[in-house]
Chain A
Amino acid sequence: MARLRLEGIRKTFRDVVALDRIDLEVEDGEYIVILGPTGAGKTTLLRIITGLLNQDAGHVYLDERSLDGVPPEERGIAYLPQTYSLFNHLNVWNNAIFGPVVQGWTPERVERVGREMLDLVRLFARRYSFPRELSGGMQQRVALGRALAANADILLLDEPLRALDARLRIELRRELKDLASQLGITTLHVTHDQEEALNLADRILVLRRGSIKQISSPREVYERPAEPFVAHFVGEANFFEGTVVDVESDTAYVGLRTGQRLAASPSQAKVGDAVVLGVKVDRCVISREEGGENTFEATILRALFAGKRTTYEVSLDRLGKAKVKMPSSAGEHLREGQRVHFSFPREYGLIFTPPPEGLTAALELE
């Protein structure tokens, strides 16, 4: 039973606001992914939760117990830092039982837990090896086993897969998720990788420049992004600036500066409001045949084949560049330089209020 609650966390370094108004409630056994670009404050947030850093304002509660002022070793929160921080002078076994030993458990219990955890991460056979003798993936597993052995209520993972090869990362995602759900441990996982987030999370918290942009299920975040940045960061999106010209019960119509009219799913916006219409690149289609609604004439600039999917960069006549991501099998006949029709179904058109700092600034990834 471990619920974590953050209330109005704020942290500044000198004059720079690293975190502001962070509220979060994590249910027992939940897997939360904190997603955001470098410098968003993700690691700062984790360090505040562990107690390695003190917040300027706000509170951290674990099961209604306030953790303010409690030193890290008394919080019962295991932390796996980005670099793993394996103790290089200790072998795998002594790394794994570090927590139990310093907490003064009985030898029998230390023995039992160490064995259990190393079995769990499939490294019991390598217990006499030293960290430097292990591959990157194994090191990551030792660090994970060590964190789990400390009998913590909450597990904090800071980019646990970052140091690994891309392909291995995909493989270990599943392992990580299986492990967490098998133990039922409440987990906070920090990453900048949107695919990883979608894959692992029960809920995703999107963090940018120190504040929360959205907390919802992966599907919500993907399909109902709270603002243009989220739409663009989690799966790319195309954006069109325009004005609402008509609103019907199930559709809002947006007029572009070129005079074209696009249909989108309805929103709060009223006729005459300036809006930004966003659509995920994988919800767009290009084809040589005349398309359905929301069609533009376009030219294929470049095709980037990525295996399962191919991303096309196209130039929309009079509007500039856009991207389309389609299953590779669907685009086999498409070539660079070809004239095509670009379109997207109205239910995937998302209407946002224009960001005050301007669209380009609002979409910046770094």
Chain B
Amino acid sequence: MREGQGDTRNRRLSQRLLAFLSRRPIIATWYGAVLLYFFLLVLLPTLFVLSFVFTGWQAIQGLLSARPEVLGTIGSAILLSYQTAIIVTLVDLVFGLPLAWFLVRRAFRGKSLLNTLIDSPLAVPTAGLGFSVALFWGVTPFLDFKPFGSLGLVSSGLLILILLHFTTTFPYMVRSLSAILKEIDIDYEIAARASGASKLTATRTVTLPLFRSGIATGATLVLAKALSDTGGVVTALTTIGKFGVNTADCRAEGELNGTALIAAWKTLSDVAGCQSSEFTAGLALVAILMIVSALALLVVVKILTMRARIPMKRIFPTWEKRLSRGIAPRIRDGATFFFLIFLVLIPSFFLIGFLLVGSPEPIEWNTLYRSIYFSFMIAGVATAIDLALGIPMAIFIVRGGMRRLGRAMDVLVNVPYIVPSAALGISLSLFFTQQRLVPVPSLFFIVTLAHVAFTFPFVVRNVTGALEGLDPAMEETARSLGARPLQSFRRVTFPIIKASILAGAIMAFTRSVGETGATLAVAGREAIITAPVYIVNLILEEQNFYAAALATTVLISVSATAMLLMRYITRRAR
């Protein structure tokens, strides 16, 4: 009897607590805190470097008048970045569309295997990818033998960067295209074909116009990824001998793109003999230019895909019919799979083969373990923060009741993702060295914040996606059955979106583990050595390719486990 009473009292207490926590002011305060954090510690630091135009104008002017050739170096580096990104985006689109179609519209055995294969390059940290791709395609001046199976063809920086970014971006393209294609009712295609349109005509005049947002998302992701990558760029260029840091002359050498330039200058700024203030100005200038141009490019992409006049007015019934059947579709599918296998998959994993044929060289296991420990610490803490802030943020965006602000946040959350992470790192370190608002406990703290900034969008994206797909009537029904908002979230919404939260968390985690640019930009190559930074160091300083391959393989196996786990969990939750 007594127990029963205690039970009742507890229940009453929890009811009252729930009622209290569900009150509007409490919820509003919570939202406010999340927004404040986002603006103060994510968005502001990310874009802080832009203020350098005003505060550091003299430093920039000083640099430019002292070393006028710097402007040319920056210009050609950024040009190289954009050439690469645009070409990669277009090629990815050409091969990504048929592959997405194949994945979504056809039923076949081994679909999930194909999906895993397409995603598999994501398990390789980009530092490893750059090195693997360059080993496969490139001439390797530092290597005294030609690895078995390597082609040894490419010595151009532009070409090797393009080949590299196929591997880093193609999975993103296919993934975002097929996600949106899935949402387009196949009945549209059937209706078009029942009206007499051949497959190609139906696709061109009906599905593609409905598909614009998918193309825009895919292109944005790919552009951002290609512009932002640092680790892969540095290792790829180093492997083919196009990246060098001349500490004697305080000069960066080789065929550098924007992020490689940042990495090089950051290294030089720490060298005792070089003028660090000049490099600070230079780095800020590169970061500013990259951030501004990235944002501008994405606006252009958005406008292009939304305004492009598809369907075209012209129609070519006979030609399109001919291309829709017989051998043409087979050629298309063949080319697509050729691309997937020979330009994406094999280059990505070539380094594992290299392990088998290369001559073993010593590796400092202690440093490797330490670096992996660092990577996982940072990724773990960053992911935890992402979850704690990302979920309320997503709820605010979708259900916050403030439409304008919600929509604005939806766009702003993506800014740290779009901004090249090396530039973001520069901005962040600038912010934390200059501001006096928040005490900075350590470099580790800043690196973690940088990782939060560019992984945050993964969690928010995934959770908003799931929330938008969730019928609001679910929560409303729960409320009318007597559930407080908090209860309806915990008992109804959360179980349904759990899988998406987990997917977002694992994506954030793997992205953080594989990241190089921001870490380098904040901490340099020596202070905090994460696993990808260690790989860069192995290649850059020691040309110890074997050890780099070994370290990468260890990291791959860890990341792959995480990815398989994600697949397993998301599938089970469905």
Interface residues of A (CB under 8 A from B): 47, 50-52, 71-73, 75, 77-83, 85, 87-89, 98-99, 102-104, 106, 146-147, 150, 152, 156
Return the contact of A73 from the options B4, B8, B480 (Cβ within 8 A).
B480
Contact partner of B473 (CB less than 8 A), chosen from A51, A77, A83, A152, is A83
Contact A104 B12 (CB under 8 A): yes
B8/A50 in contact, CB under 8 A: no
Number of A-B residue pairs having CB atoms within 8 Å of each other in the complex: 77
Q: Interface residue count for B (Cβ, 8 Å)?
A: 26
| Neighbour of A83 across the interface among B15, B471, B488, CB < 8 A | B471
Q: Is the CB of B11 within 8 A of A104?
A: yes
Q: Separation in Å of the A94 CB from the closest CB of chain B?
A: 9
Interface residues in B225-276 (C-beta closer than 8 Å to A): none
Instruction: Given A52-B479, A98-B478, A102-B478, decide whether A73 and B484 contact each other with a Cβ distance below 8 A.
Output: yes
Chain A residues whose CB sits within 8 angstroms of the CB of B553 once the complex forms: none
**Residue among B15, B483, B496 with max Cβ neighbours from chain A (10 Å):** B483
Q: Are B487 and A72 in contact, with the CB atoms below 8 A? A: no
- In the assembled complex, B25 has its CB within 8 A of some CB on chain A: no
Task: Given A104-B11, A104-B14, verify A73-B482 contact (CB < 8 Å).
Answer: yes
Partner of A87, one of B22, B476, B487, B492: B492
**Which residues of B pack against A, CB within 8 Å?**
4, 7-8, 11-12, 14-15, 22, 471, 473-474, 476-484, 487-488, 491-492, 495-496
Known: A89-B496, A104-B12. A50 touches B483 (CB 8 A): no
What residue in chain B is nearest A52 (Cβ atoms)? B476
CB-defined contacts of B477 to chain A, threshold 8 Å? 79-81, 85
Asked whether B481 lies within 8 Å of A85 as measured between CB atoms, the reply is no
Residues of B within 8 A of A103 (CB): 15, 482
Q: How far is the CB of A112 from chain B (nearest CB, A)?
A: 15
If A78-B480, A85-B477 are given as contacts, then 9 extra A-B residue pairs at C-beta distance below 8 Å, sorted by A number, are: A73-B480, A73-B484, A78-B481, A82-B473, A83-B473, A99-B481, A99-B483, A102-B482, A103-B482
- Cα–Cα distance between A54 and B277 once the two chains are bound (Å): 60
Please name all residues of chain B whose beta carbon is closer than 8 Å to the beta carbon of A50 when the two chains form the complex: 476, 480
Question: Chain A residues near B7 (CB, 8 Å)?
Answer: 106
Q: Report the Cα distance A78→B480, complex, angstroms.
A: 5
Q: Tell me if B15 and A85 are in contact (CB < 8 A).
A: no
Separation of A73 and B486 alpha carbons in the complex (Å)? 11
Chain B residues positioned under 8 Å from A72 (CB to CB): 476, 479-480
- Please tell me if the beta carbons of B482 and A81 are within 8 angstroms of each other in the complex: no
Kindly state the separation between the CA atoms of A103 and B16 in the bound complex, as whole angstroms.
Answer: 11
Bound-state CA distance A103–B481 (Å) is: 8
By CB atoms of chain A within 10 A, which of B8, B479, B492 has the most? B479
CA distance A80 to B478 in the complex (A): 10
Contact (Cβ within 8 A) B482 A87: no
Q: B482 near A150 (CB under 8 angstroms)?
A: yes
Selected contact of B480 from candidates A79, A87, A89, A104, CB within 8 Å: A79
**Is the beta-carbon distance between A104 and B15 smaller than 8 angstroms?**
yes
A82 to B471: give the CA distance in the assembly, Å: 11
B residues less than 8 Å from A81 (CB atoms): 473, 476-477
Question: How far is A88 from B483 in the complex, measured between Cα atoms in Å?
Answer: 17
Q: Could you tell me the distance in whole angstroms from the C-beta of B467 to the nearest C-beta in chain A?
A: 15
The answer to whether B480 touches A52, judged by C-beta atoms less than 8 angstroms apart, is yes
Instruction: Identify the interface centre among B479, B481, B483, B487: most chain A CB within 10 Å of its CB.
Output: B481
A104 to chain B, nearest CB (A): 5
